[in-house]
Structure formats: structure tokens, C-alpha cells
């Protein structure tokens, strides 16, 4: 992880893999809050998982989940007895971590993108950016935005396409790091965490997830 002023650049090559308890795959944490909280104490957590075989999902009481297929033929999730087919890439599926959930693979191993938030503390919006053009990414006061390149590549630069910051100024804030002004390049599965108000421009050649976390209450 590289920290630079108002952003954290999270490289995929630096993430350790953690085996599932049931042996059905491995997961790699992209980011979480509070840092180092573990699976019992996080307010939010984002990860990428390699799913190699069918089996039950771990229960996460009090957690809201959003799962997105990234690679592979997909899966059928049975959530509290109701089957949901998740076979369309980059289409988020939301469900409760309290539910009894079982996974059946539709044709082979897959990779999925997971967003988990603690109910009553944090809410998350998962937006998939697919346009091959520069789009605005704004971070409002109190919010945190995590950008994860899921396919192709992406470049993040300060100021946004219109050169405006989140509070309407037309200049780039003086505390924006030089490397952000010049552009931060993201390869597949690299991420950037933005946790201070500001405006940015994002250009992606494939698919980039923009996850916005906001406190509840």
C-alpha cells in the first residue's frame, strides 16, 4: 500500500491471499475500515475472491453484502432457500449476510468482487464505470470512495474533467499530491482509496468499480 497525501494507492500485487475455512477458495482484501479490524470488527470491507468449488458462504450477522461476478461462468446463490443466478459479469447482487447462503458453480472457477458493510453504521453504493471516457468522481464531506479496476486499466487524475473540486472551486486543492495531478495509473485489480473531499477525473478502458461509503445516522 502506498500512501500519498489524500489518497492511498492499493496495488493488487501487494495483497496476501487468505484461504476460506471450507477450502472452497481464497480471498484477498482490497481495503477495510477500521484498518486491521479483522472479520469481526470492520465497518466496511472490500475483497476479491477466487471461488474454486461449491459450498456454503460464511455467515456475517449484521452485515449487508453486495457481490459482483468479475470472471468465470457464474454461480447460483441460494439465499434463505431462494435461488438467484449470478451469471452476468459486472452486475451487482445485494443480499444479507445474516441469510443462510449456499453457492453452486455454473461451469467452473470464478472471481467475484465483494462489498460488505455493517448495518446501521455504514451504507455503500456500488457503481460500475464502463465508459471509455473521462468521468467525474466526487468525494463529499464524510464519505469515502474506493475505486477498483476490475478489467482493463484506469487512470485517476485530480480536478475532474471540468477542473472543479467538490466545493465548486475551479482550482485543484494545494494539498493534492503531484502524482495525482499527473495521473495515477491502475492495472487490473489495483485500487485507490479517496477519503477527503475533492473532485477527480477517471478514465477507464474496461470496467472500474466506484464504491461510495457513507456513515448512517
Q: Where are the domains of the chain?
A: 2-9+125-215, 10-119
Q: Please state whether beta strands 154-158 and 198-204 pair in parallel, antiparallel, or not at all (unpaired).
A: antiparallel
pTM, two decimal places: 0.87
Q: What band does 217 get if pLDDT is binned at 50, 70 and 90? A: confident
Nearest C-alpha neighbor of 214 from the set 122, 120, 94, 119: 122
pLDDT band at 3 (very low <50, low <70, confident <90, very high): very low
Q: What's the fold here for domain 10-119?
A: Jelly Rolls (2.60.120)
Worst-scoring range by mean pLDDT, 109-118, 139-148, 151-160, 169-178? 169-178
Query: Which band of pLDDT confidence, cut at 50, 70 and 90, is reported for residue 203?
Result: very high
- Do residues 210 and 131 make contact, with C-beta atoms less than 8 angstroms apart? no
Mean per-residue pLDDT for 79-85? 97
Secondary-structure class of domain 2-9+125-215 per CATH: mainly beta
Q: Please, which pLDDT band fits residue 20 given cuts at 50, 70 and 90?
A: confident
Amino acid at each position: 500500500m502506498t500512501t500519498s497525501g489524500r489518497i492511498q494507492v492499493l496495488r493488487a500485487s501487494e495483497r496476501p491471499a487468505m484461504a476460506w475455512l471450507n477450502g472452497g477458495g481464497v480471498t484477498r482484501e482490497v481495503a477495510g475500515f477500521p484498518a486491521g479490524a479483522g472479520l469481526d470488527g470492520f465497518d466496511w470491507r472490500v475483497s476479491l475472491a477466487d471461488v474454486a468449488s461449491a459450498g456454503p458462504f460464511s455467515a456475517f450477522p449484521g452485515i449487508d453484502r453486495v457481490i459482483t461476478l468479475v470472471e468465470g461462468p457464474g454461480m447460483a446463490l441460494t439465499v434463505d432457500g431462494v435461488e438467484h443466478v449470478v451469471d452476468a459479469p459486472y452486475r451487482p447482487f445485494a443480499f444479507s449476510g445474516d441469510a443462510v447462503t449456499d453457492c453452486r458453480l455454473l461451469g467452473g472457477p470464478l472471481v467475484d468482487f465483494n462489498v460488505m458493510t455493517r448495518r446501521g453504521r455504514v451504507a455503500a453504493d456500488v457503481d460500475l464505470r464502463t465508459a471509455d471516457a473521462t468521468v467525474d468522481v466526487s468525494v463529499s464531506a464524510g464519505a469515502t470512495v474506493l475505486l477498483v479496476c476490475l478489467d482493463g486499466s484506469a487512470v485517476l487524475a485530480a480536478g475532474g474533467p471540468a477542473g472543479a473540486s467538490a466545493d465548486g472551486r475551479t482550482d485543484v486543492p494545494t494539498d493534492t499530491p503531484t502524482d495525482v495531478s499527473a495521473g495515477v495509473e491502475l492495472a487490473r485489480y489495483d485500487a485507490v482509496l479517496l477519503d477527503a473531499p475533492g473532485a477527480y477525473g477517471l478514465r477507464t478502458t474496461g470496467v472500474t468499480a466506484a464504491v461510495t461509503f457513507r456513515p448512517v445516522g
